[in-house]
Every structure is written in structure tokens, then in C-alpha cells.
Amino acid sequence: MRLLIIFLAALTLSCSSTKSQISSSSNSGTTIKTGAERTEEYVPYLKGKRVAIMANPTSIIGKTHLVDSLQKLGINVVKVFGPEHGFRGNASAGAHVEDEIDAKSGIPVISLYGKKNKPSKEDMADVDVMVYDLQDVGVRFYTNINALSRLMEVCHENDKEMLILDRPNPNGYLVDGAVLDMKYKSGIGMFPIPMSHGLTVAEFAQMANGQGWLTNGVKCKLKIVKNANYHHDMPYVLPVAPSPNLNTQQAILLYPSTCMFEGTYINLGRGTKFPFTVLGSPELKGKYEFNYTPVSIKGMAETPLFMNQVCYGLDLRNYDVEELRRKKQINLGFIMELYKAHPYKEKFFDSKLSNQMNNIEIQIGSGLFRQQIIDGKSEAEIRASWEPGLSQYKEMRKKYLLYN
């Protein structure tokens, strides 16, 4: 009896410890089917064609990778294009990825996050149709939509059709933040959209076509397989981590609010097993009790800010993310609080000190934000400066929505 009690206690602890981890499906009781899972909608179309696929570990049907599934269904997958982190997802954030032959499938993998960022004419010569299937998280500085736009341009240039297998946006309910001022256009912000854009990748592709955002205003021929039983306000828990540093559902839902710290002298959990859910600095010692120590982690963050130094700050691992859903707003309180608490304010936005690639203007997409925080502007005042751009974007967005 005593052994049974111990076993049940251990089982309960094990179950509770996995609640925040990546798992599958929605929380609403409705079974969402991703575009990839709706094979009856596109496998007949791919039969007899030479297929290239833009894919990573999120490109799955059930528990099997899309590429492996399509091979078993007799589809001729001639090559795979890999984004940031690589096709199988084993590269660190920002690390260049080399071309390779995939060990499991034997298919050539061409990296679009290394020596080049778009396929060449030679790469497309033996391709009849391009398939795009990457999980996105609905935030402007998540680079998948940039890769998608370049791929759309290549398809236009080579007169190929693109098939998009759509996936739900876990932050689909959230349309918020400054619309990118295009003078801050960069590798993490290429289009005049807010920080959290509220689109699936297929909706974004339609918007890029419709708004003339592709180079020279070209249009890509699109074929879209929609999600079934999905709408934007529906909670969606991802079955696979979209990248090594977004490894929990908590991190994914906090990402629109915490990734702005990439433009500050604050560690945002890189170098821990829980990135984007903790925020801290050694210089906040005495201001906060919570602390953690970033270390080098292969495949996640090999040289994190404040490596091997004790950081003090905010622990958001148990933050009520439903509060974000209720307000439908990015949380600006985190950055306002830490700036106020920081003893060396001249360092806070110094991207050279932190060795960050992006300053706060590029991260936020606005030239006003830095001074607004320094001046102690209220959240309402900061939000007012996002208008009328944000409201205009919301109205424009309606034309491209696939899900009501």
C-alpha cells in the first residue's frame, strides 16, 4: 500500500511538471486540423510532381515529419529548404546552417540561413511546386514570414506555384504594438505590420501579395490548404516547439511581450532551459530576490548575455498568460518596471554593451519608444503613439483573413 501511495504521488508530480511544456491541440474542446493534416486536400495535387518543401521540425502530420509522410505516400520530394535552426532544428539561434544530405530521408537539404537566404534559379530548375509548412508564432521579429516572402518572390521569378499548408497562430488573438516604421526595416522586420500581427502564415502571404510588399510588387501564385475548426481567438497549444528557445507554451505566449528585451541590456532567459520566461541582470542584485545564472547551452544559446553571472529579476514562468488574452495587449509593464529598477539607466538600452544585433528601435520598430521609457511615459501615452497606424493595420488586415 505504501509503495502504491509513493507511486501515485510521483505520477501526480510528473504530470504537474509537464503542464507548461509543448503539447498538442486546442483547449476549447474542438479538434483543430492543420493544413498538413488535411492530406486529402493536397496529396492528389502533388502526385506526379517534383516537390520542394520548406520545412523544419514543426512540419508534422500527427507525430511524423511531413517530408517522411509524403515520401511514404509516394510523393516525389526532390529537395528540402531549411530555415533558421535548420531542417531538423539542431542549430542555435542566429547560427549559419550548411547544406547537407538529410540522414533519415536521403533528400538534399539546402540551407536558406547560411550562404544564401533564397533559392537560386538552379535550385528551382527541377522543381514543379514549392510546399511551405512552417509553424509561426505571430510576431513580426520571428523570421519565418521573411523567409516566406523571399520564397514567394523566387516562385514568381521561376513561374512556380506555392502550396501553403497553414497552421494556427498561437498568438492569433493578439494584434498589438507599433507598426514598423520602415526606416527601421531589418532582418527581423521587413514589413509595415505591428509587433504582434494576428495572422496565420497563409493570411500573411495573401497580405504580402495584396499589398504589393514583394520586391517590385510581384505576385506569387498561391494554393492554400486552410486549418479546419480554427479561429483566431482559439487557444492553440503547439505539438512541437517552434524553435529551441521557444520550448514551452508559456514562452510562446510571453514572446510578444518579452522578445523586445533583445534590444536592451537585460538577459531574457537565453542560457537557461526556460528562455523568454525570465528576465534579469547582475546589476539588479538587491532589487529582486529571484535569480538565475545563464550558461552556454549548445543548440540554444552558446554565448548568452551575462554568461556564468548571477542575474536578478523577474520570474514569469507562472505568470497568468490568460491576462494577456483577456486584455488583448502586449505587456509593456515588464520593460517599464525593469528600466525603473535598473541602477545604471544609461546602460539599459545600450545594445553595444549587450552585443545584441538589434537596438530597441529595430526591435520595437519605432523611434519613439526608447525616449518614452526614459521619460517615464505611461502605457496609455505609449499606446497612443502607435495610432493611427495600428487601427489602420487592423482594418486592412480584415481583407486577408481566412478564419472567422
DSSP structure string for 109-152: EEESSSS-SS--HHHHTT-SEEEEE----SBTTSTHHHHHHHHH
User: Which residue among 175, 209, 225 closes a domain?
Assistant: 225
Give backbone dihedrals phi and psi of 312, rounded to 5 degrees, phi first: -120, 140
Mean pLDDT over residues 285-304, rounded?
A: 94
- Judge whether 238 lies within some domain: no
pTM value?
0.90
* 216 and 68 share one domain: yes
89 has a pLDDT exceeding 80:
no
Q: What would the pLDDT profile of 334-344 be if each residue is shown by its tens digit?
A: 999 999 999 99
250 has a pLDDT exceeding 50:
yes
69 has a pLDDT exceeding 70:
yes
208 has a pLDDT exceeding 90:
yes
Element (H, E) at 15: helix 2-17
User: Which residue among 155, 190, 225 closes a domain?
Assistant: 225
* 184 and 50 share one domain: yes
Residue 320 grid cell: 497568468
For position 198, what pLDDT does the model report?
98
Residue 26 grid cell: 486546442
Residue 124 grid cell: 528551382
Mean pLDDT over residues 38-49, rounded?
A: 98
403 has a pLDDT exceeding 80:
yes
* 144 and 98 share one domain: yes
Confidence of residue 17 (pLDDT cuts 50, 70, 90): very low
Domain residues for the domain of 179 are: 39-225
In residues, how long is the chain? 404
- Judge whether 334 lies within some domain: yes
Q: What angle do CA 65, 140, 18 make, to 5 degrees?
A: 50
Confidence of residue 273 (pLDDT cuts 50, 70, 90): very high
* 88 and 155 share one domain: yes
- Judge whether 274 lies within some domain: yes
Mean pLDDT over residues 266-283, rounded?
A: 97
* 89 and 152 share one domain: yes
* 140 and 253 share one domain: no
- Judge whether 13 lies within some domain: no
Report DSSP state, residue 245. T
- Judge whether 32 lies within some domain: no
* 174 and 283 share one domain: no
CA of 71: how far to CAs of 34, 61, 354, in Å?
19, 12, 45
Residue 377 grid cell: 511615459
Rounded-to-integer distance, Cα 194 and Cα 179, Å: 4
For cell 498589438, what's the residue?
176
Q: What would the pLDDT profile of 123-181 be if each residue is shown by its tens digit?
A: 999 999 999 999 999 999 998 999 999 999 999 999 999 999 999 999 999 999 999 99
What SS3 class is residue 11?
A: helix
- Judge whether 391 lies within some domain: no
Evaluate whether 20 touches 249 at the Cβ level (below 8 Å). yes
* 88 and 204 share one domain: yes
For cell 513561374, what's the residue?
159
Q: What is the CATH number of the domain that holds 106?
A: 3.40.50.12170
Mean pLDDT over residues 215-237, rounded?
A: 97
Confidence of residue 85 (pLDDT cuts 50, 70, 90): low
Confidence of residue 300 (pLDDT cuts 50, 70, 90): confident
Residues 6+ apart with CB under 8 A from 391: none
Identify which of 116, 90, 113, 87 has the alpha carbon closest to the alpha carbon of residue 101: 87
Residues 6+ apart with CB under 8 A from 98: 111, 114
* 275 and 207 share one domain: no
* 209 and 325 share one domain: no
Rounded-to-integer distance, Cα 142 and Cα 156, Å: 24
13 has a pLDDT exceeding 80:
no
Evaluate whether 395 touches 181 at the Cβ level (below 8 Å). no
Report the number of distinct structural domains present in the chain.
Answer: 2
* 208 and 283 share one domain: no
The CA-to-CA distance between both ends of the chain, in Å, stands at: 53
For position 113, what pLDDT does the model report?
79
- Judge whether 20 lies within some domain: no
- Judge whether 103 lies within some domain: yes
For cell 539599459, what's the residue?
348
* 201 and 92 share one domain: yes
Which is it for strands 64-65 and 175-176: parallel, antiparallel or unpaired? unpaired
Confidence of residue 358 (pLDDT cuts 50, 70, 90): confident
Rounded-to-integer distance, Cα 209 and Cα 206, Å: 5
Q: How far is CA 372 from the centre of its chain?
A: 27
